[in-house]
Amino acid sequence: MILAIRDDRINKRVNEVMASNKKLMTGGALAVLAVLFVAVILISNTLFRGVQVDLTQNHLYTLSQGTKNILADIDEPIHLYLFWSDKETHGVPQLRVYAQRVREMLQEMAGRAKGKIKLEVIDPQPFSEDEDRATGYGLQAVPAGNNGEKIFLGLAGTNSTNGKSVIPFLQPNKEAFLEYDVAKLIHELTVPHKPVVGLVSGLQIGQSFDQATRSLKDPWAIDQQLSQQFDVRQLNAASIKSIDKDIDVLVLIQPKKLPEDAQYAIDQFVMRGGHLLAFVDPDAETDTSGADPNNPQAAMFADKSSDLPTLFKAWGVDYDPHKVILDRAQGLQISTQPGAPPVPDPAIIGFGKRSLNASDVVTANLDTINVSSAGYFSLAKDSKYTLTPLIQSSDDAMPVDATRVKFLPDPSVLLNGYAPTHEHYVIAGRLEGQFTSAFPDRKDAGHIAQAKDKGEIILVADTDMLADRLWVQVQPFFGQKIMNAFANNGDFFINAVDNLAGSSDLISIRGRATSQRPFTVVEDMKRAAQENFRGKEQELQQQLSDTERKLTELQSGKSKGSEMILSPAQQGELQSFLQKKVEIRKQLRQVQRDLDKDIDALGTRLKFINIALMPILITIAALLFAAWKRRKRAAA
């Protein structure tokens, strides 16, 4: 008996010790696992810094190849300073989300630059040295907080030679071009000199002598803007044999009957990777070449068209120098005589946002571009190139012979017999491809038969858009010329030159999708509910009109003196209408409740998928994988 009791005590003690050991082992195992978890996180952060997997639909967080090439070509260190009012924007969640997007992109660029980009994020507090520093860089503060606080969200960059480039304020509505803007800023810091622009113009856009008035004419506003931002070299078309290699962009305006040597020089410039911006026109109204003030009739009948037939054929571009586009839907109102009411002129077209390419950096942020007697481009049937529209007509447009516009005093006559083709005509476009020489038989030294890399050319079928009359008013003000632009023609021209002046890598960067993703399913549900709601409202309004009509008919049959007393028939109609009104209002409320119910049900399904279903699927996949490994190990 005593031995049995002792055995029970011993067994109990042994069990207690074993249980204690299990607890110690469990606690120790958890501690070891915690240490291993922290170690794995630290090691992964070190080994995989900068590594990411972009699963977004439009690869929102993946840099384009052009940006990667620009970052790889940085020779000297660049300092980037992101001034972001973090503490002042706690009540502006949308701006905070965008600022985080900007910061992440800059951090990724800095990581890919292999130490050549030093990024510093600064929160400029009010009345601080950092605020003065931001202002000194030229950054702009905007009132965006709940209490009207001044908020900075700008980027400044400097290089080792005291060069500076800034983006005064990173606007959220330009998120699609965020990568391009930042890459352009970095590119400007790696290229210290102004881009060189070669200008070949058949129009007198600079300061010139007016034979009619015997006085000097001011340069066009477009010429002044070009000279302020770029190093411009005037080239004489008659004597061009070659184009210097240090010219970044070649601008052709109204090229008329260029000599073959000049065309060949342009061809080889494009073959070696040069960037071309060409303006041609079927009827250049500002062309005064060969004009004789003593014979105005000869100037009227002079040929004012321009073309590059040999080059266009080699580039797979169809262009008719004798065809003008009319656009009835976008024709501007023109006064033909003093005091006369304005009439629409389908040959003078004002292109709005719907006609401008919102995905191209040249036209994305423009509102209006005016043209006059413009032509159009299209691709030849056998063309191997791509033509992306920058400016295109509406589908209410048609081409006509240029002579109809040239000698027509009354623009309203152009609408007689108007027959639109329901096509969109390309007035300006970006031509892309690996270009082939238009002069394959030339044997000049250094001749290039085909471009080594893909190239880009911007073509515009109008030169009048550059003239002041279509986009800007220039007024004298205390000895200065003040420009008041009423259209974006000048912005289009400068944007095109600025875009082409960058490297091929910079030009290749296109507009990206934004991080703001609309809830399309919810929007469709709301739209359907609104249509249903509107239908019920219209039904109610129709019944109200019918009731008022019946009441009026009953009222007209009443005797004099009893107009203010409702007859039994009128009371019945009124009561019937009120009952129907209550019923329809119930239906309207039910439509709104059903919409809310459907949206709530959709939210519940999404929560289930994100919170429960996905973890369940991952767990099942892990169990299946573990079972497969166990079976494979057992078989081995």
- Same domain? For 198 and 185 the reply is no
Q: Is residue 244 part of a domain?
A: yes
Report whether pLDDT(562) > 60.
no
What's the mean pLDDT in 80-85?
A: 94
Pick 531 or 279 by higher pLDDT. 279
Instruction: Determine contact, residues 207/467, Cβ cutoff 8 Å.
Output: no
User: Where is pLDDT greater, at 501 or 300?
Assistant: 501
Q: What single letter denotes the amino acid at residue 2?
A: I
d(CA 622, CA 193): 59
Query: Helix, strand, or coil here: 121?
Result: strand
Mean pLDDT taken over the chain: 82
Q: Quick: pLDDT tens for 471-494.
A: 998 776 555 667 788 999 999 999
Listed in sequence order, the DSSP H helices in 213-315 are 221-229, 260-271, 296-301, 309-314
Higher pLDDT, 48 or 457: 457
Going by their DSSP bridges, the two strands 323-327 and 397-401 should be labelled as antiparallel
Mean pLDDT, to the nearest integer, of 504-512?
Answer: 66
Q: Which residues, other chains included, contact 407 with Cβ-Cβ below 8 Å and sequence gap of 6+?
A: 300
Tell whether 401 is covered by a domain.
Answer: yes
pLDDT on residue 422: 93
- Looking up residue 329, the CATH number of its domain turns out to be 3.40.50.880
CATH number for the domain spanning 117: value is 3.40.30.10
pLDDT > 70 in the chain, percent? 74
d(CA 580, CA 588): 12
- In the structure encoding, which two tokens stand for residue 281, read together? 């026109």
Do residues 457 and 434 touch, judged by C-beta distance below 8 A?
A: no
The values of phi and psi at residue 449, to 5°, are: -80, -30
Residue 375 has pLDDT above 80, yes or no: yes
Cα–Cα dist 307/280, whole Å: 6
User: What pLDDT shows up at residue 28?
Assistant: 67
Q: Is residue 240 part of a domain?
A: yes
Q: Which amino acid is at 282?
A: P
Tell me the mean pLDDT in the region 607-635.
Answer: 83
CA 200 – CA 236 distance, rounded (Å): 6
Domain co-membership, 75 together with 120: yes
Looking at the structure, do residues 341 and 395 belong to the same domain, yes or no?
A: yes
Q: Which domain holds residue 336?
A: 193-208+222-286+301-440+448-507
Beta-carbon-side half-sphere exposure of residue 577 (alpha carbons within 13 Å): 19
* Of the candidate ranges 27-36, 236-245, 330-339, 380-389, the one whose mean pLDDT is the lowest: 27-36
CB atoms within 10 A of CB 332: 18
For residue 215, is it within any domain?
no
**Mean pLDDT lowest among 28-32, 312-316, 464-468:** 28-32
Tokens of 524: 């469709």
pLDDT of residue 536: 63
Torsion of the alpha carbons at 599, 605, 609 and 612, rounded to the nearest 10: 120
In a domain, 324, yes or no: yes
Three-state SS across 505-561? HHHCCCCCCCCCCCCHHHHHHHHHHHHHHHHHHHHHHHHHHHHHHHHHHHHHCCCCC
Query: Quick one: pLDDT at residue 142?
Result: 85
What local confidence, expressed as pLDDT, does residue 524 receive?
66
Task: Report pLDDT digits (tens) over 19-36.
Answer: 555 555 566 666 777 777
H or E segment at 141?
Answer: strand 141-143
Confidence of residue 47 (pLDDT cuts 50, 70, 90): low
Ramachandran class of 417: left when φ > 0, alpha when ψ lies in -120 to 50, beta otherwise: left
For residue 396, name the pLDDT band (cuts at 50, 70, 90). very high
Q: Look-up: residue for tokens 């009443």?
A: 558
Q: Is residue 115 one of the residues assigned to a domain?
A: yes
The percentage of the chain sitting over the pLDDT mark of 90, rounded to a whole number, equals: 41
pLDDT for position 17: 53
Same domain, 185 and 270: no
Q: What is residue 344's predicted lDDT score, i.e. its pLDDT?
A: 87
pLDDT at 555 over 60: no
172-219 pLDDT tens trace: 888 878 888 898 899 889 877 888 999 999 998 987 766 666 667 788
Whether 310 and 325 map to the same domain: the answer is yes
Tell me, what's the pLDDT at 213? 64
Average pLDDT, integer, range 57-65:
69
Residues 454 and 484 in one domain: yes
Q: Is the pLDDT of residue 624 over 50?
A: yes
- Is residue 401 very low, low, confident or very high in pLDDT (cuts 50, 70, 90)? very high
Return the DSSP state at 220.
Answer: P
Q: What is the pLDDT of residue 3?
A: 44
Q: Is 19 exposed, middle or buried (0-12, 13-18, 19+ CB in 10 A)?
A: exposed
pLDDT digits (tens, 9 = 90+) for 322-367: 999 999 999 998 877 777 778 889 999 999 999 999 989 899 889 9
DSSP string of 151-180, one letter each residue: EEEEEEEE-TTS-EEEES---GGGGGGHHH
Rg of the chain on CA atoms, in Å? 36
Cβ contacts of 358-361, under 8 Å, gap ≥ 24: 358/511, 359/176, 359/510, 359/511, 360/388, 360/390, 360/430, 360/510, 360/511, 361/177, 361/180, 361/495, 361/499, 361/509, 361/510, 361/511
Residue 464 is predicted with a pLDDT of 96
**Of the ranges 168-182, 344-358, 547-561, 582-596, which one carries the lowest mean pLDDT score?**
547-561
Same-domain pairing of 386 and 239: yes
- CB 103, CB 82: distance < 8 Å: yes
Half-sphere CA count of 512, side-chain side, radius 13 A: 23
What total of structural domains would you count in the chain?
3
The predicted structure's pLDDT at residue 1: 47
Q: What is the pLDDT of residue 2?
A: 46
Indicate if 128 and 240 belong to the same structural domain. no
State the pLDDT at residue 336. 73
The one-letter amino acid at 203: L
Q: Is position 35 within any domain?
A: no
Residues 499 and 611 reside in one and the same domain: no
Q: Would you say residue 451 has pLDDT above 90?
A: yes
Structure confidence at residue 168 (pLDDT): 92
pTM of the model: 0.68
Q: Mean per-residue pLDDT for 450-468?
A: 95
- Verify that 415 and 532 share a domain, yes or no: no
Does residue 50 carry a pLDDT above 60? Answer: no
Q: Of 279, 233, 277, 315, which is closest to residue 501 (Cα–Cα)? A: 277
Residue located via tokens 């190239």: 455
User: Token digits for 581?
Assistant: 């009104």
SS (H, E, C) 302-327: CCCCCCCHHHHHHCCEECCCCEEEEE
pLDDT at 144 over 90: no
> What whole-number distance in Å separates Cα of residue 574 and Cα of residue 16?
90
Residue 154 sits in the same domain as residue 243: no
Task: Please tell me the least confidently modeled range out of 114-123, 273-282, 618-627.
Answer: 618-627
d(CA 272, CA 452): 7
Residues 482, 342 within the same domain: yes
Looking at the DSSP bridge assignments, the partners of residue 150 are: 143
Let me know: does 387 contact 331? Beta carbons within 8 Å.
Answer: no
What are the beta bridge partners of residue 481? Answer: 476
Residue 284 has pLDDT above 50, yes or no: yes
86 found inside a domain: yes
For residue 505, the model assigns a pLDDT of: 76
Tokens of 496: 């095109």
